[in-house]
Protein backbone atom coordinates (compact mmCIF):
# COMPACT_ATOMS: atom_id res chain seq x y z
CA UNK A 1 0.00 0.00 0.00
CA UNK A 2 2.71 2.42 1.00
CA UNK A 3 4.53 1.68 -2.22
CA UNK A 4 1.53 2.46 -4.37
CA UNK A 5 0.82 5.67 -2.54
CA UNK A 6 4.43 6.69 -2.83
CA UNK A 7 4.43 5.79 -6.50
CA UNK A 8 1.30 7.86 -7.09
CA UNK A 9 2.80 10.84 -5.31
CA UNK A 10 6.11 10.49 -7.09
CA UNK A 11 4.45 10.33 -10.51
CA UNK A 12 2.69 13.55 -9.78
CA UNK A 13 5.67 15.41 -8.43
CA UNK A 14 7.79 14.30 -11.37
CA UNK A 15 5.31 15.51 -13.94
CA UNK A 16 6.70 18.67 -15.56
CA UNK A 17 3.51 20.64 -15.12
CA UNK A 18 1.34 19.77 -12.24
CA UNK A 19 -2.25 20.23 -13.12
CA UNK A 20 -5.13 19.96 -10.76
CA UNK A 21 -6.31 17.11 -12.95
CA UNK A 22 -3.09 15.22 -12.28
CA UNK A 23 -3.61 15.85 -8.61
CA UNK A 24 -7.14 14.43 -8.75
CA UNK A 25 -5.84 11.40 -10.60
CA UNK A 26 -3.29 10.86 -7.90
CA UNK A 27 -5.89 11.03 -5.15
CA UNK A 28 -7.91 8.48 -7.06
CA UNK A 29 -4.91 6.20 -7.23
CA UNK A 30 -4.33 6.57 -3.49
CA UNK A 31 -7.97 5.73 -2.85
CA UNK A 32 -7.71 2.61 -4.99
CA UNK A 33 -4.70 1.54 -2.97
CA UNK A 34 -6.65 2.10 0.26
CA UNK A 35 -9.53 0.01 -1.02
CA UNK A 36 -7.15 -2.75 -1.93
CA UNK A 37 -5.92 -2.61 1.64
CA UNK A 38 -9.50 -3.37 2.69
CA UNK A 39 -10.46 0.08 3.81
CA UNK A 40 -14.21 0.31 3.35
CA UNK A 41 -15.37 1.96 0.14
CA UNK A 42 -17.57 4.62 1.72
CA UNK A 43 -14.83 5.45 4.15
CA UNK A 44 -12.44 5.90 1.26
CA UNK A 45 -14.89 8.46 -0.11
CA UNK A 46 -14.73 10.37 3.14
CA UNK A 47 -10.97 10.13 3.12
CA UNK A 48 -10.79 11.46 -0.40
CA UNK A 49 -12.63 14.58 0.68
CA UNK A 50 -10.51 14.94 3.80
CA UNK A 51 -7.30 14.71 1.80
CA UNK A 52 -8.49 17.16 -0.83
CA UNK A 53 -9.55 19.72 1.73
CA UNK A 54 -6.33 19.29 3.69
CA UNK A 55 -4.04 19.74 0.71
CA UNK A 56 -5.86 22.62 -1.01
CA UNK A 57 -3.97 22.06 -4.22
CA UNK A 58 -4.67 25.48 -5.71
CA UNK A 59 -3.11 27.25 -2.77
CA UNK A 60 0.18 25.37 -2.68
CA UNK A 61 3.26 27.47 -3.25
CA UNK A 62 5.04 26.51 -6.50
CA UNK A 63 8.09 25.19 -4.69
CA UNK A 64 6.30 23.54 -1.80
CA UNK A 65 7.34 19.96 -1.10
CA UNK A 66 4.15 18.51 -2.51
CA UNK A 67 5.16 14.93 -1.96
CA UNK A 68 5.55 15.51 1.71
CA UNK A 69 2.40 17.59 2.05
CA UNK A 70 0.27 14.99 0.30
CA UNK A 71 1.74 12.10 2.25
CA UNK A 72 1.20 13.99 5.46
CA UNK A 73 -2.44 14.59 4.52
CA UNK A 74 -3.08 10.90 3.81
CA UNK A 75 -1.36 10.00 7.04
CA UNK A 76 -3.31 12.52 9.10
CA UNK A 77 -6.65 11.58 7.58
CA UNK A 78 -6.12 7.93 8.50
CA UNK A 79 -4.81 8.69 11.98
CA UNK A 80 -7.85 10.85 12.52
CA UNK A 81 -10.12 7.88 11.96
CA UNK A 82 -8.39 5.49 14.33
CA UNK A 83 -7.60 8.06 16.96
CA UNK A 84 -10.00 7.53 19.84
CA UNK A 85 -11.71 10.80 20.54
CA UNK A 86 -12.57 9.83 24.07
CA UNK A 87 -10.50 8.42 26.88
CA UNK A 88 -10.53 4.64 27.03
CA UNK A 89 -12.28 2.81 29.85
CA UNK A 90 -9.98 2.02 32.75
CA UNK A 91 -10.55 -0.65 35.38
CA UNK A 92 -10.89 0.52 38.98
CA UNK A 93 -8.62 -0.76 41.68
CA UNK A 94 -10.19 -2.57 44.64
CA UNK A 95 -13.36 -3.23 42.61
CA UNK A 96 -14.48 -6.19 40.54
CA UNK A 97 -14.06 -5.26 36.90
CA UNK A 98 -15.65 -7.79 34.60
CA UNK A 99 -14.35 -7.76 31.03
CA UNK A 100 -16.14 -9.92 28.49
CA UNK A 101 -14.66 -10.95 25.14
CA UNK A 102 -16.70 -11.41 21.98
CA UNK A 103 -15.74 -12.29 18.44
CA UNK A 104 -15.86 -14.96 15.78
CA UNK A 105 -14.21 -18.32 16.18
CA UNK A 106 -10.51 -18.13 15.50
CA UNK A 107 -10.37 -14.37 15.95
CA UNK A 108 -7.95 -14.83 18.81
CA UNK A 109 -10.17 -14.35 21.88
CA UNK A 110 -8.73 -17.10 24.04
CA UNK A 111 -5.16 -16.16 23.23
CA UNK A 112 -5.85 -12.48 23.78
CA UNK A 113 -7.70 -12.76 27.06
CA UNK A 114 -4.59 -14.24 28.65
CA UNK A 115 -2.48 -11.48 27.10
CA UNK A 116 -4.79 -8.86 28.57
CA UNK A 117 -4.78 -10.60 31.94
CA UNK A 118 -0.97 -10.55 31.94
CA UNK A 119 -1.04 -6.86 31.03
CA UNK A 120 -3.18 -6.00 34.06
CA UNK A 121 -1.37 -8.40 36.34
CA UNK A 122 1.87 -6.58 35.54
CA UNK A 123 0.12 -3.38 36.63
CA UNK A 124 -0.71 -4.72 40.04
CA UNK A 125 -4.26 -5.96 39.54
CA UNK A 126 -5.53 -9.23 40.93
CA UNK A 127 -6.58 -10.96 37.70
CA UNK A 128 -8.36 -14.15 36.70
CA UNK A 129 -9.98 -15.86 33.71
CA UNK A 130 -13.34 -17.48 33.14
CA UNK A 131 -13.92 -19.85 30.22
CA UNK A 132 -17.51 -19.55 28.99
CA UNK A 133 -16.80 -21.36 25.75
CA UNK A 134 -18.68 -24.62 26.05
CA UNK A 135 -19.26 -24.75 22.31
CA UNK A 136 -15.86 -25.85 21.14
CA UNK A 137 -14.30 -29.02 22.45
CA UNK A 138 -10.95 -28.26 23.97
CA UNK A 139 -11.68 -24.60 24.59
CA UNK A 140 -11.35 -24.95 28.34
CA UNK A 141 -8.13 -26.91 28.00
CA UNK A 142 -6.66 -24.18 25.85
CA UNK A 143 -7.52 -21.46 28.35
CA UNK A 144 -6.30 -23.62 31.22
CA UNK A 145 -2.94 -24.12 29.53
CA UNK A 146 -2.48 -20.44 28.79
CA UNK A 147 -3.56 -19.39 32.26
CA UNK A 148 -1.33 -21.94 33.98
CA UNK A 149 1.65 -20.81 31.95
CA UNK A 150 1.01 -17.24 33.01
CA UNK A 151 0.22 -18.17 36.62
CA UNK A 152 -3.30 -16.79 36.45
CA UNK A 153 -6.26 -18.36 38.33
CA UNK A 154 -9.02 -19.63 36.05
CA UNK A 155 -12.50 -21.10 36.13
CA UNK A 156 -14.28 -23.41 33.73
CA UNK A 157 -16.18 -26.63 33.54
CA UNK A 158 -15.85 -29.84 31.59
CA UNK A 159 -19.37 -31.01 32.42
CA UNK A 160 -21.56 -27.93 32.43
CA UNK A 161 -22.70 -27.25 28.87
CA UNK A 162 -24.59 -24.03 29.44
CA UNK A 163 -22.18 -21.14 28.84
CA UNK A 164 -24.37 -18.69 30.74
CA UNK A 165 -24.23 -20.85 33.86
CA UNK A 166 -20.47 -21.29 33.64
CA UNK A 167 -19.94 -17.58 33.10
CA UNK A 168 -22.10 -16.47 36.00
CA UNK A 169 -20.76 -19.16 38.34
CA UNK A 170 -17.18 -18.20 37.53
CA UNK A 171 -17.76 -14.49 37.88
CA UNK A 172 -19.65 -14.94 41.16
CA UNK A 173 -16.88 -17.10 42.59
CA UNK A 174 -14.12 -14.66 41.67
CA UNK A 175 -16.11 -11.64 42.82
CA UNK A 176 -16.46 -13.28 46.20
CA UNK A 177 -12.71 -13.80 46.23
CA UNK A 178 -12.20 -10.11 45.54
CA UNK A 179 -10.54 -10.42 42.17
CA UNK A 180 -10.15 -7.02 40.51
CA UNK A 181 -10.10 -8.08 36.86
CA UNK A 182 -12.30 -10.95 35.79
CA UNK A 183 -11.96 -11.70 32.10
CA UNK A 184 -14.69 -13.82 30.53
CA UNK A 185 -13.73 -15.70 27.37
CA UNK A 186 -16.68 -16.71 25.23
CA UNK A 187 -17.21 -19.00 22.29
CA UNK A 188 -17.38 -17.99 18.68
CA UNK A 189 -18.87 -19.41 15.51
CA UNK A 190 -17.39 -19.48 12.06
CA UNK A 191 -20.04 -17.09 10.92
CA UNK A 192 -22.21 -14.55 12.58
CA UNK A 193 -25.07 -16.75 13.63
CA UNK A 194 -28.17 -15.89 15.56
CA UNK A 195 -27.28 -18.55 18.10
CA UNK A 196 -23.98 -16.85 18.80
CA UNK A 197 -25.52 -13.43 19.25
CA UNK A 198 -28.25 -14.81 21.50
CA UNK A 199 -25.57 -16.44 23.62
CA UNK A 200 -23.56 -13.20 23.88
CA UNK A 201 -26.63 -11.25 24.95
CA UNK A 202 -27.47 -13.80 27.62
CA UNK A 203 -23.94 -13.92 29.01
CA UNK A 204 -23.77 -10.15 28.99
CA UNK A 205 -27.00 -9.94 30.95
CA UNK A 206 -25.79 -12.57 33.39
CA UNK A 207 -22.32 -11.23 34.18
CA UNK A 208 -22.99 -7.49 33.67
CA UNK A 209 -19.52 -6.66 32.35
CA UNK A 210 -18.00 -3.24 32.94
CA UNK A 211 -16.37 -3.61 29.56
CA UNK A 212 -17.03 -5.76 26.50
CA UNK A 213 -14.16 -6.18 24.06
CA UNK A 214 -14.57 -7.29 20.48
CA UNK A 215 -11.63 -9.25 19.11
CA UNK A 216 -11.09 -8.81 15.41
CA UNK A 217 -8.64 -10.63 13.17
CA UNK A 218 -6.59 -8.13 11.13
CA UNK A 219 -7.06 -10.25 8.03
CA UNK A 220 -10.85 -9.97 8.13
CA UNK A 221 -10.73 -7.52 5.23
CA UNK A 222 -13.85 -5.96 3.81
CA UNK A 223 -16.04 -8.11 6.09
CA UNK A 224 -14.86 -6.06 9.06
CA UNK A 225 -17.52 -3.45 8.72
CA UNK A 226 -20.54 -5.76 8.65
CA UNK A 227 -19.13 -7.97 11.34
CA UNK A 228 -18.30 -5.24 13.79
CA UNK A 229 -21.64 -3.58 13.16
CA UNK A 230 -23.49 -6.83 13.84
CA UNK A 231 -21.68 -7.36 17.12
CA UNK A 232 -22.13 -3.76 18.11
CA UNK A 233 -25.88 -3.94 17.61
CA UNK A 234 -26.33 -7.07 19.69
CA UNK A 235 -23.51 -7.38 22.19
CA UNK A 236 -22.54 -3.74 22.44
CA UNK A 237 -18.80 -3.51 22.98
CA UNK A 238 -16.75 -0.57 24.19
CA UNK A 239 -13.35 -1.49 22.80
CA UNK A 240 -11.69 -3.40 19.99
CA UNK A 241 -8.55 -5.51 19.99
CA UNK A 242 -7.04 -6.30 16.62
CA UNK A 243 -5.15 -9.58 16.46
CA UNK A 244 -2.64 -11.01 13.99
CA UNK A 245 -1.24 -7.65 12.97
CA UNK A 246 1.99 -9.58 12.41
CA UNK A 247 0.42 -11.32 9.42
CA UNK A 248 0.38 -10.34 5.79
CA UNK A 249 -2.97 -8.54 5.94
CA UNK A 250 -2.92 -4.86 5.19
CA UNK A 251 -5.09 -4.11 8.20
CA UNK A 252 -7.42 -1.70 6.47
CA UNK A 253 -10.31 -3.72 7.86
CA UNK A 254 -9.43 -2.54 11.32
CA UNK A 255 -9.84 1.05 10.24
CA UNK A 256 -13.23 0.26 8.74
CA UNK A 257 -14.37 -1.39 11.97
CA UNK A 258 -13.44 1.63 14.03
CA UNK A 259 -15.17 3.98 11.64
CA UNK A 260 -18.32 1.84 11.49
CA UNK A 261 -18.72 1.42 15.24
CA UNK A 262 -17.07 4.55 16.61
CA UNK A 263 -15.26 2.33 19.05
CA UNK A 264 -11.59 2.68 19.90
CA UNK A 265 -8.95 0.03 19.33
CA UNK A 266 -7.14 -0.47 22.64
CA UNK A 267 -4.56 -3.16 21.96
CA UNK A 268 -3.12 -5.12 19.08
CA UNK A 269 -1.91 -8.71 18.98
CA UNK A 270 1.43 -9.04 17.24
CA UNK A 271 2.05 -12.78 17.41
CA UNK A 272 1.08 -16.07 18.96
CA UNK A 273 3.14 -15.73 22.11
CA UNK A 274 1.82 -14.25 25.32
CA UNK A 275 4.18 -11.33 25.13
CA UNK A 276 3.12 -10.39 21.59
CA UNK A 277 0.78 -7.66 22.69
CA UNK A 278 1.01 -3.89 22.42
CA UNK A 279 -1.04 -0.87 23.34
CA UNK A 280 -2.64 0.56 20.26
CA UNK A 281 -0.83 3.61 18.93
CA UNK A 282 -2.74 5.24 16.08
CA UNK A 283 0.30 6.82 14.49
CA UNK A 284 2.42 3.69 14.54
CA UNK A 285 -0.49 1.66 13.21
CA UNK A 286 -1.09 3.97 10.25
CA UNK A 287 2.61 4.26 9.53
CA UNK A 288 2.83 0.50 9.30
CA UNK A 289 -0.28 0.39 7.15
CA UNK A 290 1.23 2.92 4.78
CA UNK A 291 4.60 1.21 4.88
CA UNK A 292 6.20 4.31 6.25
CA UNK A 293 8.16 2.37 8.82
CA UNK A 294 7.90 2.94 12.47
CA UNK A 295 11.29 4.20 13.46
CA UNK A 296 10.38 4.87 17.07
CA UNK A 297 9.06 1.35 17.65
CA UNK A 298 12.10 -0.12 15.95
CA UNK A 299 14.48 2.00 17.99
CA UNK A 300 12.63 1.02 21.16
CA UNK A 301 13.10 -2.64 20.29
CA UNK A 302 16.73 -2.18 19.42
CA UNK A 303 17.41 -0.40 22.67
CA UNK A 304 15.55 -3.05 24.60
CA UNK A 305 17.53 -5.82 22.98
CA UNK A 306 20.92 -4.29 23.07
CA UNK A 307 22.30 -1.94 25.64
CA UNK A 308 25.39 -1.32 23.59
CA UNK A 309 23.89 1.09 21.11
CA UNK A 310 25.69 4.19 22.18
CA UNK A 311 27.69 4.85 19.01
CA UNK A 312 24.62 4.63 16.77
CA UNK A 313 22.48 6.64 19.14
CA UNK A 314 25.16 9.28 19.31
CA UNK A 315 25.39 9.39 15.54
CA UNK A 316 21.63 9.57 15.21
CA UNK A 317 21.50 12.44 17.66
CA UNK A 318 23.90 14.24 15.35
CA UNK A 319 21.75 13.42 12.34
CA UNK A 320 24.22 10.87 10.99
CA UNK A 321 24.01 7.22 10.10
CA UNK A 322 27.21 5.62 8.85
CA UNK A 323 27.73 2.35 7.02
CA UNK A 324 28.96 0.90 10.32
CA UNK A 325 25.73 1.96 12.00
CA UNK A 326 23.92 0.09 9.27
CA UNK A 327 25.98 -3.01 9.96
CA UNK A 328 25.32 -2.78 13.70
CA UNK A 329 21.61 -2.43 13.12
CA UNK A 330 21.46 -5.46 10.86
CA UNK A 331 23.48 -7.48 13.36
CA UNK A 332 21.10 -6.47 16.15
CA UNK A 333 17.97 -7.07 14.17
CA UNK A 334 19.11 -10.53 13.20
CA UNK A 335 19.64 -11.29 16.89
CA UNK A 336 16.15 -10.13 17.70
CA UNK A 337 14.37 -12.93 15.92
CA UNK A 338 11.26 -13.30 13.88
CA UNK A 339 12.20 -11.11 11.05
CA UNK A 340 8.71 -10.99 9.65
CA UNK A 341 7.66 -8.99 12.67
CA UNK A 342 10.50 -6.53 12.47
CA UNK A 343 10.34 -5.94 8.75
CA UNK A 344 7.06 -4.09 9.08
CA UNK A 345 8.60 -1.66 11.51
CA UNK A 346 11.43 -0.80 9.25
CA UNK A 347 11.17 2.20 7.04
CA UNK A 348 10.12 1.48 3.47
CA UNK A 349 13.25 0.09 1.92
CA UNK A 350 14.19 -2.48 4.50
CA UNK A 351 10.65 -3.77 4.89
CA UNK A 352 10.41 -3.92 1.12
CA UNK A 353 13.73 -5.70 0.85
CA UNK A 354 12.42 -8.47 3.08
CA UNK A 355 8.93 -8.58 1.66
CA UNK A 356 7.70 -11.96 0.57
CA UNK A 357 10.59 -13.72 2.24
CA UNK A 358 10.10 -16.23 4.96
CA UNK A 359 12.14 -15.92 8.12
CA UNK A 360 14.81 -18.24 6.85
CA UNK A 361 15.34 -16.40 3.57
CA UNK A 362 15.31 -13.15 5.47
CA UNK A 363 17.94 -14.18 7.95
CA UNK A 364 20.07 -15.45 5.07
CA UNK A 365 19.74 -12.06 3.46
CA UNK A 366 20.82 -10.36 6.67
CA UNK A 367 23.82 -12.67 6.95
CA UNK A 368 24.90 -11.69 3.46
CA UNK A 369 24.56 -8.04 4.37
CA UNK A 370 26.85 -8.59 7.33
CA UNK A 371 29.37 -10.36 5.07
CA UNK A 372 29.28 -7.33 2.80
CA UNK A 373 30.03 -4.96 5.66
CA UNK A 374 32.77 -7.21 6.95
CA UNK A 375 34.56 -6.96 3.61
CA UNK A 376 34.78 -3.20 3.91
CA UNK A 377 37.69 -1.24 5.25
CA UNK A 378 37.42 0.70 8.51
CA UNK A 379 37.40 3.88 6.52
CA UNK A 380 34.51 2.71 4.41
CA UNK A 381 32.54 1.55 7.43
CA UNK A 382 32.88 4.85 9.19
CA UNK A 383 31.99 6.80 6.10
CA UNK A 384 28.60 8.20 5.19
CA UNK A 385 28.56 5.77 2.27
CA UNK A 386 29.09 8.32 -0.50
CA UNK A 387 32.64 7.07 -0.97
CA UNK A 388 31.16 4.08 -2.79
CA UNK A 389 29.24 6.05 -5.36
CA UNK A 390 32.25 8.27 -5.91
CA UNK A 391 34.50 5.26 -6.42
CA UNK A 392 32.34 2.40 -7.70
CA UNK A 393 35.35 0.08 -7.92
CA UNK A 394 35.03 -0.23 -4.16
CA UNK A 395 31.68 -1.91 -4.59
CA UNK A 396 33.12 -4.47 -6.97
CA UNK A 397 35.91 -5.20 -4.51
CA UNK A 398 33.51 -5.60 -1.60
CA UNK A 399 31.16 -7.82 -3.59
CA UNK A 400 34.04 -10.07 -4.59
CA UNK A 401 35.46 -10.16 -1.06
CA UNK A 402 32.13 -11.06 0.52
CA UNK A 403 31.04 -13.54 -2.11
CA UNK A 404 28.01 -11.45 -2.97
CA UNK A 405 27.01 -9.39 -5.98
CA UNK A 406 27.48 -5.71 -6.75
CA UNK A 407 23.71 -5.47 -6.83
CA UNK A 408 23.49 -6.62 -3.24
CA UNK A 409 26.16 -4.15 -2.18
CA UNK A 410 24.24 -1.39 -3.90
CA UNK A 411 21.05 -2.48 -2.20
CA UNK A 412 22.65 -2.33 1.20
CA UNK A 413 24.14 1.08 0.54
CA UNK A 414 20.91 2.52 -0.77
CA UNK A 415 19.22 1.33 2.42
CA UNK A 416 21.95 2.97 4.47
CA UNK A 417 21.54 6.17 2.44
CA UNK A 418 17.85 6.16 3.21
CA UNK A 419 18.49 5.72 6.89
CA UNK A 420 21.07 8.50 6.75
CA UNK A 421 18.51 10.73 5.11
CA UNK A 422 16.03 9.95 7.83
CA UNK A 423 18.58 10.55 10.56
CA UNK A 424 19.25 13.94 9.06
CA UNK A 425 15.55 14.74 8.95
CA UNK A 426 14.99 13.53 12.47
CA UNK A 427 17.65 15.83 13.69
CA UNK A 428 16.06 18.66 11.81
CA UNK A 429 12.76 18.01 13.51
CA UNK A 430 14.25 17.38 16.93
CA UNK A 431 13.74 14.00 18.56
CA UNK A 432 10.10 14.79 19.34
CA UNK A 433 9.50 15.63 15.71
CA UNK A 434 9.23 11.90 15.09
CA UNK A 435 5.71 12.00 16.39
CA UNK A 436 3.15 12.67 13.74
CA UNK A 437 5.65 13.08 10.97
CA UNK A 438 5.87 10.25 8.48
CA UNK A 439 9.38 9.11 7.87
CA UNK A 440 9.97 9.51 4.18
P1 LIG B 1 -10.62 -17.83 19.45
O2 LIG B 1 -11.31 -18.91 18.70
O3 LIG B 1 -11.19 -16.49 19.14
O4 LIG B 1 -10.54 -18.08 20.91
O5 LIG B 1 -9.12 -17.77 18.89
P6 LIG B 1 -7.78 -18.37 19.52
O7 LIG B 1 -7.34 -17.54 20.67
O8 LIG B 1 -7.96 -19.82 19.77
O9 LIG B 1 -6.77 -18.10 18.34
C10 LIG B 1 -6.88 -18.70 17.07
C11 LIG B 1 -5.49 -18.81 16.45
O12 LIG B 1 -4.96 -17.54 16.21
C13 LIG B 1 -4.50 -19.51 17.35
O14 LIG B 1 -3.72 -20.37 16.57
C15 LIG B 1 -3.66 -18.39 17.92
O16 LIG B 1 -2.37 -18.80 18.25
C17 LIG B 1 -3.68 -17.41 16.77
N18 LIG B 1 -3.46 -16.01 17.19
C19 LIG B 1 -4.14 -15.29 18.10
N20 LIG B 1 -3.66 -14.02 18.18
C21 LIG B 1 -2.65 -13.94 17.28
C22 LIG B 1 -1.76 -12.88 16.86
O23 LIG B 1 -1.80 -11.73 17.32
N24 LIG B 1 -0.85 -13.20 15.90
C25 LIG B 1 -0.79 -14.46 15.36
N26 LIG B 1 0.15 -14.68 14.41
N27 LIG B 1 -1.60 -15.45 15.71
C28 LIG B 1 -2.52 -15.20 16.65
MG1 LIG C 1 -11.47 -19.49 22.05
Domain spans in the chain, listed from the N-terminal domain onward? 2-82, 97-289, 295-434
Kindly indicate the confidence band of residue 23, based on its pLDDT and cuts at 50, 70 and 90.
confident
> Closest by alpha carbon to 67, among 25, 20, 26, 19?
26
* Distance of CA 243 from the midpoint of ligand 1 (Å): 7
Protein residue with its CA nearest to atom 2 in ligand 1 = 106
- Assess whether pLDDT exceeds 90 at residue 333: no
309 lines ligand 1 (CB under 6 A): no
The Cα 159–Cα 138 span in angstroms is 12
* Distance of CA 133 from the midpoint of ligand 2 (Å): 7
Least confident among 112-116, 186-190, 313-317, 399-403 = 313-317
- Residues of 53-92 as b/e, b for ≥16 C-beta within 10 angstroms? eebebeeeeeeeebeebbbbbbbbbbbebbbbeeeebebe
Sign of CA dihedral 227, 232, 234, 238: positive
Share of the chain above pLDDT 90, in %: 40
Protein residue with its CA nearest to atom 19 in ligand 1 = 108
Highest mean pLDDT among 101-110, 246-255, 302-311 belongs to 101-110
40 lines ligand 1 (CB under 6 A): no
How confident is the prediction for the chain on average, in pLDDT? 82
The Cα 213–Cα 179 span in angstroms is 19
- The CATH number corresponding to 97-289 among 1.10.3720.10, 3.40.50.300, 3.40.50.720, 3.30.70.1450 equals 3.40.50.300
114 lines ligand 1 (CB under 6 A): no
CB-side exposure of 172: number of CA atoms within 13 Å? 8
Helix 41-55 to helix 66-82 angle (10° resolution) is: 130
Q: Which fold has domain 295-434?
A: 434 Repressor (Amino-terminal Domain) (1.10.260)
Q: Pairing mode, if any, of strands 265-269 and 181-186? A: unpaired
Please give the average per-residue pLDDT across 346-374, as a whole number. Answer: 69
* Distance of CA 108 from the midpoint of ligand 1 (Å): 4
* DSSP annotation string for 320-343: ---HHHHHHHHHHHHHS--HHHHH
Which ligand 1 atom minimizes the distance to the CA of 270? 23
> Closest by alpha carbon to 34, among 61, 66, 74?
74
Topology agreement, domain 2-82 and domain 295-434 = no
Higher pLDDT, residue 432 or 11: 11
Which ligand 1 atom minimizes the distance to the CA of 107? 3
Q: Which fold has domain 2-82?
A: 1.20.120
Highest mean pLDDT among 65-74, 302-311, 424-433 belongs to 65-74
Amino acid sequence: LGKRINAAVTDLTRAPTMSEKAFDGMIKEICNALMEADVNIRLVGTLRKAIKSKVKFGELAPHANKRRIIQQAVFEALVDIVNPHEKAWQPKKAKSNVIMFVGLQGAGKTTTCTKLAIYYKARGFKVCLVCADTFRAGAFDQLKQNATKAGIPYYGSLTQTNPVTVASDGVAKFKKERFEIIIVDTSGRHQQENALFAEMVEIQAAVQPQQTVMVLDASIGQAAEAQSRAFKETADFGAIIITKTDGAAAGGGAISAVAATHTPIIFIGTGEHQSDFESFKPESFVKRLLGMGDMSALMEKIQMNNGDQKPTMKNLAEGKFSVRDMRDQIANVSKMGPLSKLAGMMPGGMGGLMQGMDDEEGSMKMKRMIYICDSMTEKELDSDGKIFTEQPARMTRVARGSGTSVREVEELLSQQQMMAGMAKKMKGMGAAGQKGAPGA
